[in-house]
Structures are given as C-alpha cells and as structure tokens.
Structure 1
Amino acid sequence: MREPAPCVARDMKAIVLNQYGGPDELTVTDHPDPKVAPGEVLIRVKAAGINPVDWKLASGGLDALMETHFPIIPGWDVAGVVEAVGLDVEEYSVGDEVIGYARKDTVELGTYAELVAANVRLVAPKPASLDWAQAAGLPLAGLTAYQALRRLNVTSGETVLVHAAAGGVGSLGVQIAKAFGARVIGTASERNHAFLTELGAEPVSYGDGLAERVRELAPEGVDAAVDFVGGQEAVEVSRQVTKDSTRVGSIADDAVTEFGGRYMWVRPSSEDLTELGRLADAGKLTVHVDRTYPLADAALAWRVSQAGSVRGKLVLTVD
C-alpha cells in the first residue's frame, strides 16, 4: 500500500476574498497549502481561467445554492502539474500535466492560487496542443458548451443557433457543434464576425430584427438553439426560429422552461473533459485567449470581465 505523503505546513500565494464583494475586496495573501485527501491530486497551478461565475459568486450570487466558508479563494478552472497524489490515487503521478474544473461542494478553496487540491473526478490530462493559458480556459466553458449541445441532441447535418458565439463559452460551442457535424449560425457584434467566420460559423448581428436575419440563413428554421448570454432577445428569438421549442437551451435564463426549453447547469466530468482534450489534440478545438494577467492582477481581470465584450477567455497566469 502506498504511504501518504508527509504533511508539511507551508504557505502559498493566493487571491483571497474575506467577505462578499467585488474586485476591490480581492487581496493577495499567504494562505496555508491545501491538504491532499484520498482521491485527490495536488496541482501546482500554471494558469487559472476566469469565468463570470467567479465574480458573481463573490458578490453572493450563489449564496442560496452553495455553502460558503470565508476566506474564499475564487476560481474553478485550472491547468498545472501534479505535485502530490492522495494515498489511493492511481490515475495520476507526480509530474503529470492536467486540467480541471475544480468545483467543489462548498465554496472556499478555489484555483486563484499557487496550489489547488482536486478530486480525480474533476481533472483530465492536459491537451498537448494547448499552451497553459489555453488549457486553463477550457474546462468550465468547454464543459458548459459540450454538455449543452449534447443535451440538446445536436447531430451531424443539423443547423444550430449559438447566441454570444464569440464569448468564452460560445466560441467553444461553435467549434464543438462543428465537430459534431452541425452547421452553426452565431450571434455576435459586427466586430466579431470575422472571428466567427474563422471558427466556421455564419455570423449574424444581434439586436432588432435578429429573428428575420436568422430566417434569411435558415428559412425553414434551425434544429436547435443554445443561449450563452441570457436576456429576453436570446430566449424569445430562439423560440421563434427553432423548429421544436423543446430543443432550445439556456445556461443564463430559466425563462426558457416556460415553453418547454431546457435551463442547464454544467457538471464536472473527467470523461467529458478528456473528450474535449481529444478534440483539441485532433485539431477540432482551440481556445482563444483574449488576455492574460498575472495572479496579482486578478482584480483588474475581473473588472475587464465585468465590462463585457471579451472575445474568448481571460486567464490568470501563475509563476
């Protein structure tokens, strides 16, 4: 039987939130290294992806859903190197490069840190084709897009409408739908149309007349629609242009359920994350990183995220 690694008390650098709030509440501090429980790996963080849920959670937006224990280290996305393994872990070894959607049952020890402990159910091998920043931007956004499209049963030959197609989730959703063999129509501002064309989507501008513009491209309607932005326009237009309203999904607006659509929440899945890695290494999926920031600039990165109009992903890098 493998003996557990000795526990040595040390302090790592981490971004910490001592109470609910916004970017101004974030501080860089020394924090005790996480313990490595059975079934877990300790990851030396190379990069941590930023997602809007990070600052929404920090403002108390998920307080009704998840137990929270302050001080909080935010973040659920990670890419890094295995530094230690739990006493029963056989899936990974020290030195392995991994990615993870390290969402735990409680909010406390996240990924904006030099080290993070994560259950093996939350991690997968890092795709060799992606650099550290790209790899850190894949887990939450990639899983969200992949699981949404799969739950809507998107298959080869179908036409899919993707809202907010140039964003972190949407840009991955476009590529995943294309990998499934679907035709993709994507909504975005005009400045992002060339970007969507490069990804393989047919771009349309959002705003007044969106339903008509979609119908010009798909006169008989689309087979499925997925909303990655929220708001009345995305949900209502999806209902209008989709042949079967039960094949409309949203990750941002539960009003979709009023006409039989699906309101969806991402689940951690090592298997799905591994499949995303395979798609990346097969040349079918990449992660567009808009900007990277050092760990100490997490507050600045949050302000940029909150301002919107990010193309692809924002990522924190850890030296």
Structure 2
Amino acid sequence: MRTVQFTEYGPASVVHVAEVEEPHAGPNEIRVAARASGISPGETALRAGRLRDMVPLAFPYRTGFDAAGVVDEVGEGVTGVNVGDEVFGMTSMTRRGANADFVILSAWAPKPAAWTWQEAGGAAGGVETATRVLDRLAVGTGHTVLVQGAAGGVGTLAVQLAAARGATVIGTASEHNHDFLRSLGAEPTTYGTGLVERVRALAPDGVDAVFDCAGGALPDLVAIAGDPARVVTIVPDPAAAALGVHLSHSAPDDKTGEAVGAPADPMAVHGLAVAVALADEGRLRVPVAAAFPLTEAAAAHELSESRHARGKIVLVNQDSI
C-alpha cells in the first residue's frame, strides 16, 4: 500500500509516498480503507527539525494522525462497529501513519452524515485536541474564552466546541478571516501589538480562559487571563514553563514530556462522540482549507507551513469523494 513518510529532516520536499506492507488490526483496533486524512502542523515542525532536541524522530517517519474511511478489518475485542461502516478517528500516538491507503485506528466514531469525507478525514485530531484543552480549562456556560489562532485547523473546532458548551468566544485571526470567525460563533479581533487592550475592550468583565493555538504571544495571553493557570498552549514554546503556562500534548512517552517541559494530558477521545452529536444537529463543521491527492503530500506540508490556511488541510485517496 501507499503511505506518506520522510526519511530525513528537511523542507517539505523530503516528504514522499512509499510502498509498504499493509498493516492489520490488532486487539481493540480497527482498520479502515482510508478516504481522507489530515495534515498536522505539529508534524511539519517535526519534519523540519525544529523540535529535534525535544522530540527526536526514528526514520522512516510515517505521517498522519487522523483519518476517515470504511472499516475493512475489526480487531479482537472490538464491539459496536462492523466491516463496511463509515467512521472517522485517530491512530495511536506511537503508530501514526494515517496518511496512507489503509489506516489502523485506536479511537473512532461513526462518520456524521453531514460531513464529507474530506471534513471527516481532518476532524478527529483537532476535535481531540480542542476537547482536551477545553476540559483542562473547565470551559462551560457563562465563561468567556479567548482562542488565539482561531482560524486554523484546531482553532476553528475550539471556537465551535466552546460555543456549544455555552461559552462566549473571542477569536484572533487576520482581518480577512473575521467574517469567517463570526460564522463559527466567535467575536473576532486581530492578533499582534495591542491585543491586550483589544480583548479587554471586547470583554470588560475579563476572560476566564485562554486557548493558544498559534504561539508567540504568551506574555500577552497571561496578561489577558490574569493568571497563567488559565492559559493553555498547544505550541511548544520555551517561554511556557517560565511563565507558568501549561503545554498540552499527548506524546506517548515520559522522555518527550520531560523534553517539552510538561507531562502528557489524558487524551480526550470522548470528544469524538460529542462531535458526532453536534454535527448531526448542524452545530459543528470542519472547515477544510485545501485538499490534496495523497501523492501531493509535500505540497500540503508546504501550505501548512505558510500559516495561511483557513481550517484543516487534508489528503484524499483516489476513491475519495
């Protein structure tokens, strides 16, 4: 089968498609014939070598964490899903390899009928991450939440999931994305110089929680929250620990957690079922910035690194819709 991988650190051009043996579902796993899968900004940083001191890689490194497809193998101990079912979900953190023809999922949920394959293929990782951080921040009814980097793959889902919990959401993005953020349920503002003052004008009674999806502004985000314990980032930043800001990640080993300065948080796979319910009610969509054929994974990485993508970047398989 085809899989996307890289065998050295470098620019997007080191990403390529390789032929490898098909994986098979083990206990408590399922295999899907993939229709679409997501590109992770974190993996583009890993590929570029920007995190090599914190997260050294073993090569070849097979990319992709979330995918959607049709179940074609069901592992021992799995119930509630059958061959032929349409699902979306995530690989294990140790396996990855979701950008491929066949993908082993360790967590999954039924594909919402309202979502295209492209939307479903890019959903699971962002849903899990957003749910994990919103849970840690205990976001609920009546809270005001700032999402820094609200127009990206995780940010767009965080906005909608926070709003579904009853929170008021402020989101930062470039001005040309402001109407887009309003359509998702956020009050938009621009990032950069003057952010503290702009957010205070929008939320004169203060902000209860800050979810940083973009990085680069932690001192301002702490000032907005008034307490570093009310700020969570998903972007590795040496300033986080110094400022007392929690870096949320789900890396599978203690060594990685020590390197990035924070232990792993429990994965929020329960968020997948919540996402299905909201999607069925028309309250959660997965904005897709661009879709590339599996064979053009390098171009997808290049777009991801541009930081101009609005929503999720996905790869589609030949028989995808």
TM-score by length of 2: 0.87
Could you say if the C-alpha distance between residues 131 and 228 of structure 1 is closer, same or farther in structure 2, counting changes exceeding 3 Å? same
How big is the shift at 1:64? 5.9
Q: 1:269 to 1:202 in 2, by over 3 A?
A: closer
- CA distance in 2 between counterparts of 1:91 and 1:104 reads 23
Aligned to 1:9: none
Q: What is the CA-CA distance between 1:237 and the residue it aligns to?
A: 1.6
Give the drift of 1:228: 0.6
| 1:104-157 alpha-carbon deviations (Å, 9 max, x no partner) | 325xx50111001233xx222222221111011111112111111111011111
> Does 2:231 align with 1:237?
no
1:90-129 matches, within 5 Å, as 90-106=79-95, 110-119=97-106, 122-129=107-114
Report the residue type matching 1:31 in the other structure: V
Looking at secondary structure, tell me which structure has more strand per residue: 1
1:168: which partner in 2?
Answer: 153
Contact 1:249 1:256 in 2 (8 A): no
* 1:312 aligned partner, one-letter code: G
Query: Which one of 14, 19, 43 corresponds to residue 25 of structure 1?
Result: 14
Equivalence map 1:120-269=2 (5 Å): 122-231=107-216, 233=217, 235-252=218-235, 253=237, 255-266=239-250, 268-269=267-268
| 1:288 corresponds to | 287
Please give the alpha-carbon distance, in whole angstroms, between the structure 1 residues aligned to 2:243 and 2:275: 31
Write the letter of the residue equivalent to 1:141: G
Q: CA contact under 8 A between 1:66 and 1:105: conserved in structure 2?
A: no
**Residues 220 and 259 from structure 1, CA distance in 2 versus in 1: closer, same or farther, beyond 3 angstroms?**
farther
Counting only pairs closer than 5 Å after superposition, residues 51-62 of structure 1 correspond to structure 2 as 51-60=40-49
Tell me if 1:70 matches 2:53: no
Unaligned runs of 5+ in 1: 1-11
**236-245 or 275-284, larger mean C-alpha shift:** 236-245
2:254 matched to which residue of 1?
none
Deviation at 1:63, TM superposition (A): 5.3
Q: 1:270 to 1:211 in 2, by over 3 A?
A: closer
Question: Deviation at 1:255?
Answer: 2.9
Taking every aligned residue pair, what percent have the same amino acid on both sides?
42
**Compared CA separation, residues 199 and 211, structure 1 to 2 (3 A):** same
* Contact 1:254–1:263 (8 Å) recurs in 2: no
Q: Contact (CA 8 Å) 2:206, 2:224: kept in 1 or not?
A: yes
State the alpha-carbon separation in 2 of the partners of residues 116 and 268 from structure 1: 19
The CA deviation at 1:38 is 2.2
Instruction: Give the 3-state SS of the residue equivalent to 1:70 in structure 2.
Output: coil
Aligned to 1:3: none
Q: Deviations over 1:51-99 (max 9, x none)?
A: 1122223334565666854333211110011011123322321011111
User: What SS class does the counterpart of residue 48 from structure 1 fall into?
Assistant: strand
Verify the 8 A CA contact 1:83 1:95 in the aligned structure 2. yes
The aligned amino acid for 1:125 is: P
Report if aligned partners of 1:166, 1:192 keep a CA contact under 8 Å in 2: yes
Q: Which whole-Å deviations, capped at 9, do the CAs of 1:141-174 have from their partners, x for residues lacking one?
A: 1211111111101111111111001111111111
1:82 and 2:71 matched: yes
**Change in 2 beyond 3 A, CA 1:254/1:276:** farther
Matched-pair contact (CA < 8 Å) for 1:58–1:74: no
CA distance in 2, matches of 1:22, 1:263: 26
Flag the structure with larger Rg: 1
Q: Is the 8 A contact 1:248 1:261 kept in 2?
A: yes
SS at match of 2:20: strand
Distance 2:277 2:8 in 1: 39
**Structure 1 range deviating more: 174-183 or 250-259:** 250-259
TM-score between the two structures when normalised by the length of structure 1: 0.88
**Number of residues paired by the alignment?**
302
Are residues 67 and 35 of structure 1, via their aligned partners in 2, closer, same or farther at CA, if it must alter by over 3 Å? farther
Contact kept in structure 2, 1:248 and 1:256, CA below 8 Å: no
